[in-house]
Each structure stands twice: as C-alpha cells, then as structure tokens.
Structure 1
Amino acid sequence: MKEIVIISEAAAYRIKEMMVHNGEEGSLLRVSVNGGGCSGLSYGMGFEKEKQEEDIELQQHDIDIIVSKEDASILDGTKIDYKESLMGGGFTIDNPNAIASCGCGSSFRTAKKEGTPESC
C-alpha cells in the first residue's frame, strides 16, 4: 500500500528536534491541507495531543502522523524532506497530485481541488 505522506530521515530528525524544543514529545504530527495561498491550497504541519475520529494514523521514523480522511486523497504520495542551505533550513514538500504551485512555493492546487486563491 502506498503511503499518504512519506517523511524523509532528515525531516524526521528535524521534527523530533522540534518536538523536544517545544515540549511536544509524545504528540502526533498533523499534516494537513488548508485553503488559501496564491494557488488556492497550502500545507500545514503541527503537533496535536489527540487523534480525531476522521483521522488516519500513520507511523514513520518513530513519529505518529495523522491526516484527516478529507486531506488524504490530496496528500496521497506526498514526500516531506528537510534541507539545509547557506540561507538556512526548511521543509520541502513534493506532492505528485499538485498540478500548479505558486512562485513562492507555499501553495498549490490539484485537479480535483482548487481551494480559494489569495494574493502572495
């Protein structure tokens, strides 16, 4: 079975660091899709203490991940990585379902869901 979200080893290491730094050890990592951004949809990642009834739970690199059933089809096969450069570090998201993304790289749309675009 194909994973909904695939987290690289580098991203997992950074997520675990963030959990410790923010006192969120034992929390769940929620990966979500929100309305907004230049292209209509944007990604969200955050920590939560409890799974909701409509959530799908995954586990990778000893991180418990939750995705809502509504977001699962949009995120299906999405790869999350973490990269360091001279300008700093950040998460990169590669979603095979995105048919367009904006120049700033933080929003996207899919063939099935466009969201509500707003200016960058």
Structure 2
Amino acid sequence: MNPFRPLLRIRPRVLPAYRITSHRALSLTPRLLGLQITNPRADPTDPSATMSIVLTPRASSRLQAIQTRDSNPLLALRVTVESGGCHGFQYTISLSDKVNPAEDSLFTDEETGARVVLDEPSLELLKGSTVDYTQELIGSQFVVKNPLATSSCGCGTSFDIAGL
C-alpha cells in the first residue's frame, strides 16, 4: 500500500485569480488613466496613433523620491537617444527641470508627480519602451527596455534598430 495514498485524496484549494499590473502606461492621449501629457506626438508610421512609453511603478517611485529630496517638483528624467556607442545608438539619461515646449514631449504621472521628458527624434526611436529603475549589487540606475532594439551591448547603454 502506498503511504502517500491518503494525501492523494486531498483536493487542492483553488485560489481566486488576481490581475497584477506591473507598470502604468504613459500614453500621449491626454489625461488617460490619471496621466497628463504635454505636447503629444503622432506616430509617423500610423498617424491615427500616438507615440507612448511605459513607466514602471519602481521608476515612478524613485523619480518622486528624487523630486522630494531635491525639493524640485519640476525635476524630470530626460531620456535621449544619440548616435554612437558600439551598436549605432546610445541612451543618455539625465535629470533636468528644463522642458522645451516646441521639441519635447512631457509625460507626467499625476499619482506620483514623476515626469519623463523625451525630444521628438528620441521618442520616435523609443516608442513603446519601458523605463524602469533597477537596484543591483554593483549599483542602481534607470534603464530603458526598447522593443524596437534588435541588438544591444552587454551593459545595455547602446543598441541597434533594424533598417536604420
């Protein structure tokens, strides 16, 4: 006789399914889901759509902490793309409180006050990307996960896009 036979009769308890969202979309549609977008840009490949990015809660929380520490609610994470690096393009991530209304799109999370600024050429290369904040033993940093990137270097700073 199998000693585990009594355990086989126990039915597992089915837990209710919970939907967990790991990020909030920052869309260029004005005032979508508590987000305010300044200077939205149409997607050149689909003029009926707008270009957007995603900001994770971890990145949003870290940006809010930086704004609070510096006593500057206008401080924003500026993400730009420049030519260079070992794969053709490289990310430049900095903090800035300056926004050029003619060239920049400003993504503001109304819940936390976190702000991300992208210029138009960078937004075209980063549309659909996720901005996250990582903490590792070697340090912490904001990172960009770009779905348009076909390859990238080991450190994740430079990337390549097919057809460019």
| TM more than 0.5 | yes
**Percent of residue pairs identical:** 28
Query: Shift of residue 98 of structure 1?
Result: 0.4
Alpha carbons 2:125, 2:148 under 8 Å: kept: yes
- Cα RMSD for the two superposed structures: 2.2
Say if 2:126 and 2:148, in contact at 8 Å, map to a contact too: yes
1:118 match: none
Aligned to 1:72: 123
**TM-score normalised to structure 1 length:** 0.76
Show the counterpart of 2:63.
15
Name the one with the larger strand percent. Answer: 1
Q: Which runs of 4+ in 1 moved over 6 A?
A: none
Change (3 A) 1:28 1:91: closer
SS at match of 2:87: coil
Partner of 2:155: 104
Structure 1: where are the runs of 5+ without partners?
114-120
Report the number of matched residues. Answer: 113
Q: Distance in 2 between matches of 1:21 and 1:62?
A: 13
Cα deviation for residue 7 of structure 1 reads: 1.1
Asked whether the equivalents of residues 63 and 76 of structure 2 are also in contact (C-alpha less than 8 Å), the reply is: no
| Counterpart check, 1:29 vs 2:77 | yes
More relative contact order in 1 or in 2 (CA 8 Å, sep 6+)?
1
Quick check: 1:51–1:66 contact (8 Å CA) kept in 2? Answer: no
In 2, distance between residues paired with 1:43 and 1:99? Answer: 15
Identify unmatched segments of 5+ residues in structure 2.
1-48
TM-score by length of 2: 0.59
